[in-house]
Structure formats: C-alpha cells, structure tokens
Amino acid sequence: MNIAENTTTLLQEIPDHVQLVAVSKTKSNAEIMEAYQAGQRVFGENKIQDMATKYEALPKDICWHMIGHVQSNKVKYMAPFVDLIHGVDSLKLLKEINKQALKNDRSIDCLLQLHIAQESSKFGFSEAEAEEALTLAQSLEKVNVIGLMGMATFTDNTRLITQEFKGLKAFYDRLQKEYSQLNTLSMGMSGDYPLAITEGSNMIRVGSKIFGARNY
C-alpha cells in the first residue's frame, strides 16, 4: 500500500482538465505528506476542526476543500483559509459564509450541493432551490458560487448512477448559459469517478484509492 504511488498513478490516469481532491479525512499528517510529495496539492476534509488543525501544521501551498456537511456556526473556524466549500445546501449557510468572509477580508469560493441521489439521507438543493441560491449569491459580496456538487446513489447500479450524473450535468450546462462564472462540476468519488468523468465532471473526490481503506 503506497500512498505516493497511488497518487502518481491517479494523477496520470485522469484527464488534465479534472481536478483531483484527495480526501484526507481521518488521515494523519504523515500520510497527507506522502501524497503531497507525489505532487498532490488539493485535500478534502469533512470536519472543520480537523481541517483547521491540519492547515496549521502542514505546508501553506495546500488548498483545503471542505467536502462534508457544513454547520453554519462552524464556518468562522475555516473562513480565514478554506479554498473551496463543496457542500453549500442552504441560503442560511451562504449568508454565514459571506459574513465570515467579510470579517476575514477575503472572498470564498463555494459549490452548491444538489440532491441527485435516491437516498433521503443525502443533503442538497433541488434545482429550483439552487437557482434561488444563485440569485442570492449575486448579492453577496464575498461569496463566489463557482459550480455544483452532487453525490450519486451508493449502489452497484451503474445505469442509475449514470442517469444521476447526466441529470446534474444537464442542469449545470443550463445554468452556465446564465451564470458564466460557473466552471466547476464536482461529482465522482473512489467508486464511481470514471463514470463521473465520462459524464462531464471536472472535479473528483477520491480517498480510499489514494490512502487505502478508511481509519475509523
């Protein structure tokens, strides 16, 4: 199990236009540094406190992505440094991100999370709610909505997954005609990223394929 080799292989395998987010949640600083030394610079965490601790300890040219569900009251802890927030799923959260970005005198990039899966446990906007969020974001000075994120149903049914990715890509294409700043479509994880890339994803979130099975 070699993290550096896995990272190098994956970076070579995916197309140049696809951004790899290495999902480093539960991983040690030493494990993250192995991927870093293989050339990986973008890491995704799902807990804000963990991400803040790692940010302090690790090289400052790392881009930190918040990929988990975000609680509004925790935004202040990552506002000084977070590079991209993947899981924006409420208007309240957008407003809080703007408020904390203003306090830190920086703009924060965000993705709107769309609910595309069959499971009710997944978070996310409907298409109509996402359009409302985009309208609101236009009036928020320090929030940049740069794209969409979606998680497919956890299943072996590739037809269903493909259908979910196709639906999100079609919505993204439609929005892009009106909002030219949209440039990121984040869909695809360790189990389904090849399908996601085929269906138009340009950002994938991969953990186990780099770091091995999760440490709980």
Give the CATH number for residue 16: 3.20.20.10
Q: Structural domain tally of the chain?
A: 1
Asked if the structure places residue 83 within a domain, the reply is: yes
Q: What is the model's pLDDT at position 66?
A: 97
User: What's the burial of 121, exposed, middle or buried (CB within 10 Å: 0-12/13-18/19+)?
Assistant: exposed
Between 73 and 123, the more confident residue is: 73
pLDDT digits (tens, 9 = 90+) for 51-96: 999 999 999 999 999 999 999 999 999 999 999 999 999 999 999 9
Tokens of 194: 């090849």
Asked if the structure places residue 193 within a domain, the reply is: yes
Give me the amino acid identity at 185. L
Asked if the structure places residue 10 within a domain, the reply is: yes
Asked if the structure places residue 56 within a domain, the reply is: yes
Quick one: which of 23, 72, 88 has its CA closest to 51?
Answer: 23
Asked if the structure places residue 216 within a domain, the reply is: no
Average pLDDT over residues 160-188: 96
Q: Are 147 and 159 in contact (CB under 8 A)?
A: no
Give me the amino acid identity at 82. V
Q: Are 181 and 144 in contact (CB under 8 A)?
A: yes
Q: How many CB atoms lie within 10 A of CB 95?
A: 17
Asked if the structure places residue 32 within a domain, the reply is: yes
Q: State which residues form the domain around 143.
A: 3-211
Q: How many CB atoms lie within 10 A of CB 63?
A: 14
3-class SS letters over 79-92: CCCCCEEEEECCHH
Asked if the structure places residue 92 within a domain, the reply is: yes
Is pLDDT above 50 for 195?
Answer: yes
Asked if the structure places residue 8 within a domain, the reply is: yes
Q: What is the model's pLDDT at position 14?
A: 96
Quick one: which of 93, 89, 88, 81 has its CA closest to 52?
Answer: 81
Is pLDDT above 70 for 216?
Answer: no
